[in-house]
Chains A and B, each alone.
Chain A
Amino acid sequence: MAQASWTQRVSKYLALAVLTLLVFMPLSLVILRALTPEGTFEGFGAFSILGEGMYQEILLNSLLLGFGVVIVSSLIAAPLAFFMARTELGRHRWIDIVLIIPFMTPPYIGAMGWILSMQSNGYAEQLFPFLAPVTPYFFTYFGMVLVMSFHLFPFIYLIMRNNLENIGGRLEEAGLIHGGSFLYRLRRIVLPLFISGYSMGALLVFVKTIGEFGTPVTLGNRIGFYVLTSEIHRHASVWPIDFGTAAILSTMLLSVSMAVWYFQQWFAARTHGKVVSGKGQTRAYTPLGRKQIFAWVYLAVILGLAVGVPYFSVASTAFMDNQGSGLALDNLTLRHIQDLFTGSGLDALWNSVWLAGIAATISAAIGLWVTIIIMKKRGTVEKGMDFLSIAPNTVPGIVVVVGLILFWNAYWNPAPVYNTWMMLVTTYVVLYIPFTVQNIKAIYGQLGDSLFQAAKTSGAGPFYILRTVLVPLILPGVLAGWIMSFTISMRELVGSLILRPPNMHTSATFIYSQFEQGTVAQGMAMALVTVGLTTIVLIGVEKMKEKSQRYRT
């Protein structure tokens, strides 16, 4: 192939510079600051504060929470995965879509919904008075685990289901034909294959849990269950602000998640990562017959808890005239929605829309640019760029936010970004570049080299190929990345809360502040509108995609 032209080289190093500025600088400043919390280098001595009882407890809380959520979400997901992979329920593909809803619901909104249900004289007690003795237990470690498990179980469910589907069919048939009894097959074929996939999902859920911010900051702070993320938030945004300690805790969190993440990568690489390809695979099938009623009941209970409870609470609160009067038809009102669109809520919502729109556009553009570079060649620079573009997804959001403060608020940084709306756009871009990159990469990876070689031998130059072949083919990936960035940016809490300029609210910070010290009903009305709006965008773009992708089916 012809040597890369100078424009390609310039583009490559420019992209590297952008990623360095956006991702590398903030993250390395976190670690640097952790080693020099008071401005002088203390090395690992700085970590001695972790010896203090308070911090030990925080770390322990984080780990306990992680383990608890992994266990509970696995318990919730396992039967569902079995039902969907091996029984009649698997024919109903819509269940998969419904099961994703909890995962797509912003965790802080889910947590708020649960709090509203379980608090004394909440909806749970109003509807089922006999629950009164149970509800206080919600405001403990168990409640935290419950809420977060109901948020994260879809993740582990998907991994388990795919795993079970892949193991099924031929592999088990082969075991059967070679004379393995049921238990022998389970022990020697299904379990070993299942465990390698499951462990991957479990580790990812663990990392997500300890890096999660929404639930700890709403429910955890309320009940005095402090974890790393909520403590980092406290040190970074509540007076007396102490970036040194925030950085140390962030580094702590970062090392735990990175360690787990790399362990998972290592584990996945050394075990049979790929089970046989999907070609000609038959699915193992265990018909339940009339017993499937139990499976449906189980599904209904899980959906009721994971989707029903939070959304019922949020909606009831949003449409309730007088919170004291409880659930009653004559207590119904649209007042809060109207207030939202006439008061400061509208500003917050509009801010979220345009901030998310700009951020999604920038991150889709950067994602496209970076992906084209890293998919073309696999040199050292490209690998570095690949790593940097994915890094914000493996690092807990709050760590990225602390890094962004340290970098953009540094006295030596001349860019007038901090404390302006640009800071929020930058935050969203950094946080969600991995989504655009991954989406585009997934589609790009499916394109054979010969598609481009065919264009070359047809006489097309590099730019013509880019315009007529590459871009049209990966456009769906770009679009998917854009929607994902947009919808998640719309509801982003941690970065918005800490980095918003004074007097500027986004929908997420509006919900949070109304819930904490304002009109809860206003907050919940906003939650409904935000979730509704992002859902409409999702559906709309999906429809558009179908139309423009006639050639795909």
Chain B
Amino acid sequence: MDIKFRQLEKWFGTLHALKPLSMTIQSGEFVSLVGPSGCGKTTLLRMIAGLEDPAEGAVLFDGKPVFDKDKKINVPPQKRKIGMVFQDFALWPHMTVFENVAYGLKATGRKREVQDKVTEALNNVQLGDHKNRYPHQLSGGQQQRVAIARAVATDPEIILMDEPLSALDASLRDEMRILLQSLVKKLDMTAVYVTHDQSEAMAMSDRIVVMNAGEVQQTGTPEEVYQRPNNDITASFIGKGTLIDGLVIEVEDVPMLKVSADVQIPLSSSKTKGLEPHDWVHAIIRPEQVVLDTSPSETGINGIIETVSFLGERYEVSLKLDDCDERLFAYTYEKTVPGQEASVTIRDTIHLIQHRGGVSHEETA
């Protein structure tokens, strides 16, 4: 079942919680809404569920409006046939696991299916043995699995998830993420997932919607938003890296990104369409694009190592560039120490964001 928004808009008093938005979520697609808190992602999710009334616009499921301001249509949440997983699990404490999961079936009069559907849903989340327990007798991860089973027990074609993993320990989060991901695909549901954790969104989604201040900044596959962010907000919110200000110049016919008087990063001339020399641009430089060399070199950019963090499989190093205020991040397998001199070279594609207009360009260094 696909979900379509048409000029959907929401106000909270004077706060423009969601600026007019039109987009379509394809049937069977896993879409994440990401952004900092207060960006409007949860509001959008709750409007899909019917828990929040939009101010303007329409929401359509498979072309049929469940909300339409102009036609005065507002299908209440209980008639929208959706499943929803909440951040705080929202399990009813006075019902057993079985009763929690069976609730939606009983509420909609599908009493004959209760036994089969609940068993199936609980088996899907590996909780078949716990059906007679009360929520307080379960661990956090088990509680969330019950909540997931409850959301899928009625066979909804749409599942909405509001930061379902944020209340869990880091170690449980990966396990639950994989469970959710595979379950949603197995049951072929259209999933809308709200999170403020960009790595979670990238790991799970078919498509990511980056939001900020009630506005969609960019929509695209995880690879697209990571490699080709179209503005600073997306670039800094998604993935690690350094946003660097610079001027496009040409030195001996080779395009360069001039960061400061002495620091220049070479760009290739192959794809400088639309860029004039002396355009101010932003470049997003990801740590994996930065090659660290502990021996200072003539060709590289020199700097001093500031911090070294051990990540398990490698080190993450931050390097302050000589003669300017910028810092770059790099990954290395070699142990280094703060204060050490080093040089870096940039490889692969550097993604450039032009200052005005937000048009993005691709450059190859």
B is a partner of A: yes
Residues of A within 8 A of B (CB): 1-2, 448, 450-451, 453-461, 464, 468-469, 472-473, 550-553
Hey, which chain A residues are within 8 Å of B91, CB to CB? 454
Interface of A is mostly: helix
Known pairs A459-B81, A551-B135; A453 contacts B90 (CB<8 A): yes
Known pairs A468-B103, A473-B94, A550-B134; A454 contacts B86 (CB<8 A): yes
Which of B52, B83, B135, B136 is A457 in contact with, Cβ under 8 Å?
Answer: B83
Closest to B99 in A: A468
Give the distance in Å from the alpha carbon of A453 to the alpha carbon of B42 in the complex: 14
Q: A471 to chain B: closest CB distance in Å?
A: 10
Q: Which of the listed residues B76, B80, B92 has the most CB atoms from chain A within 10 Å of its own CB?
A: B92
The answer on a CB contact under 8 Å between B83 and A455 is no
Q: Which of the listed residues A2, A456, A459 has the most CB atoms from chain B within 10 Å of its own CB?
A: A459
Hey, which chain A residues are within 8 Å of B136, CB to CB? 551-553
Give the distance in Å from the alpha carbon of A257 to the alpha carbon of B324 in the complex: 69
Which of A450, A459, A461, A553 is B154 in contact with, Cβ under 8 Å?
Answer: A459
The answer on a CB contact under 8 Å between B134 and A451 is no
Q: Which of the listed residues B51, B94, B95, B103 has the most CB atoms from chain A within 10 Å of its own CB?
A: B94
Known pairs A458-B104, A459-B154; A552 contacts B78 (CB<8 A): no
The answer on a CB contact under 8 Å between A456 and B103 is no
The answer on a CB contact under 8 Å between A464 and B107 is yes
Q: Is there a chain A Cβ closer than 8 Å to B160's Cβ?
A: yes
Closest to B89 in A: A450
5 CB contacts below 8 A, A to B, read: A1-B52, A450-B87, A457-B51, A458-B154, A459-B79
Closest to A450 in B: B90
Known pairs A450-B86, A453-B86, A551-B136; A459 contacts B107 (CB<8 A): yes
Q: Is there a chain A Cβ closer than 8 Å to B49's Cβ?
A: yes
Query: Residues of B within 8 Å of A, CB-based: how many?
Result: 36
Q: Is there a chain A Cβ closer than 8 Å to B207's Cβ?
A: no
* 12 extra A-B contacts, CB within 8 A, seeds A459-B81, A472-B94: A451-B92, A453-B84, A453-B90, A454-B90, A454-B150, A456-B76, A457-B84, A458-B78, A458-B107, A458-B108, A460-B107, A551-B134
Q: Is there a chain A Cβ closer than 8 Å to B294's Cβ?
A: no
Give the distance in Å from the alpha carbon of A2 to the alpha carbon of B50 in the complex: 8
Closest to B93 in A: A551
Give the distance in Å from the alpha carbon of A457 to the alpha carbon of B91 in the complex: 13
Give the distance in Å from the alpha carbon of A469 to the alpha carbon of B80 in the complex: 20
Give the distance in Å from the alpha carbon of A454 to the alpha carbon of B146 in the complex: 12
Hey, which chain A residues are within 8 Å of B79, CB to CB? 459
Give the distance in Å from the alpha carbon of A455 to the alpha carbon of B150 in the complex: 10
Q: B75 to chain A: closest CB distance in Å?
A: 9
Hey, which chain B residues are within 8 Å of A458, CB to CB? 78, 83, 103-104, 107-108, 150, 154
Which of B78, B88, B134 is A461 in contact with, Cβ under 8 Å?
Answer: B78
Give the distance in Å from the alpha carbon of A451 to the alpha carbon of B103 in the complex: 12
Closest to A448 in B: B88
The answer on a CB contact under 8 Å between A473 and B93 is yes
Q: Is there a chain A Cβ closer than 8 Å to B74's Cβ?
A: yes
Hey, which chain A residues are within 8 Å of B84, CB to CB? 453-454, 457
User: Which 7 pairs between the two chains have the least Cβ-Cβ distance?
Assistant: A458-B104, A450-B90, A460-B107, A457-B84, A456-B77, A454-B90, A459-B108
